[in-house]
Structure 1
Amino acid sequence: MSLENVRLSQPAKDRLVWLKRTTGIAQWNVLCRWALALSLKDPSTPLVKEIVTDSNVEMSWKTFTGQHGDVYLALLKQRCVADGEEPTDENVAKTLTVHLHRGIGYLGGHKEMATIEGLVGSVVAP
């Protein structure tokens, strides 16, 4: 597992297809960034530890993070430490996968997040 490529499971892809349609946000990477931020905001540990990344949705780390790769990497390493994990490359990649998928679940599971206003409110609200 590495950070070079970010892959999604088929259920995550299906949820993102719905989100793209309902929010009007056309890029996978933009929705995935929102999902990651939403999951990292939640202090609880994701319940699912193993995720099968079996869909055809794959993007490079650079595409996923854009110009803010260092920020996302720092957030993931900080989360590893907060969860009692050593911030190794493997642990950081695993943290990305589980938080990305949990966040996609959060986005697809709440009607208010079907709009851009709802997405913004979910991440920036206290």
Structure 2
Amino acid sequence: MEPPLERVKISQTAKEQLIKLKRITKIDQWNILCRWALCRSLAEPTPPSPVPIKLDSNVEMNWRVFGGEISDMLLIALKQRCYNDGFGTTKEVLAEQLTLHLHRGIGYLAGDQKIKKIEDLIELTVN
């Protein structure tokens, strides 16, 4: 499947939030935390606010690194969510929504006071 973006980039604020998450979860790879963040945001019933995001950090990864073995599943989930939200599924819409969902999810995970270790991330999936 063709990815919405060749390179996934994040803001400096999101980078700092990911550094916090890396420290508390002991997950040392950006891409794994970013997958968790995307899924966390996609699970929310409302779309993310369409705020401008300055992609100003030095953290970026290509789509295959970002998605890993589940890159096609992540893309399908994103497309379905965009369709359900009435945005359509053009490459531009998917790219914008990916960025918005990713950043919202990073913020949610970093701000969740219950996340103190990797097991707490797993606990999010069973509740």
Q: CA deviation at 1:48?
A: 4.1
Q: Distance in 1 between matches of 2:55 and 2:126?
A: 29
Q: Deviations over 1:1-37 (max 9, x none)?
A: x511000000000000111011100000000000011
Kindly tell me the number of residue pairs found equivalent between the two proteins.
124
Q: Which structure has greater helix proportion?
A: 1
Q: CA deviation at 1:78?
A: 0.5
Q: CA deviation at 1:94?
A: 0.7
Q: CA deviation at 1:75?
A: 0.6
Corresponding residue of 1:57: 59
Corresponding residue of 1:75: 77
% identity of equivalent residues: 52
Corresponding residue of 1:3: 5
Structure 2: runs of 5 or more not aligned = none
Corresponding residue of 1:34: 36
Q: Distance in 1 between matches of 2:84 and 2:39?
A: 15
Q: CA deviation at 1:122?
A: 1.6
Q: Distance in 2 between matches of 1:44 and 1:50?
A: 18
Q: What SS does structure 1 have at the residue aligned with 2:5?
A: coil
Q: What SS does structure 2 have at the residue aligned with 1:112?
A: coil
- RMSD, matched Cα: 1.1
Query: Which segment drifts farther, 96-105 or 46-55?
Result: 46-55
Aligned ranges 1:1-126 → 2 under 5 Å: 2-125=4-127
Q: Distance in 1 between matches of 2:61 and 2:104?
A: 18
Q: Normalization by structure 2: what TM-score?
A: 0.93
Q: Deviations over 1:89-120 (max 9, x none)?
A: 01111111000000000011012123111111
Q: What SS does structure 2 have at the residue aligned with 1:63?
A: helix
Q: Distance in 2 between matches of 1:21 and 1:50?
A: 28
Q: Normalization by structure 1: what TM-score?
A: 0.93
Alignment CA distance shift 1:124-1:3 (3 Å) = farther
Q: Distance in 1 between matches of 2:68 and 2:8?
A: 13
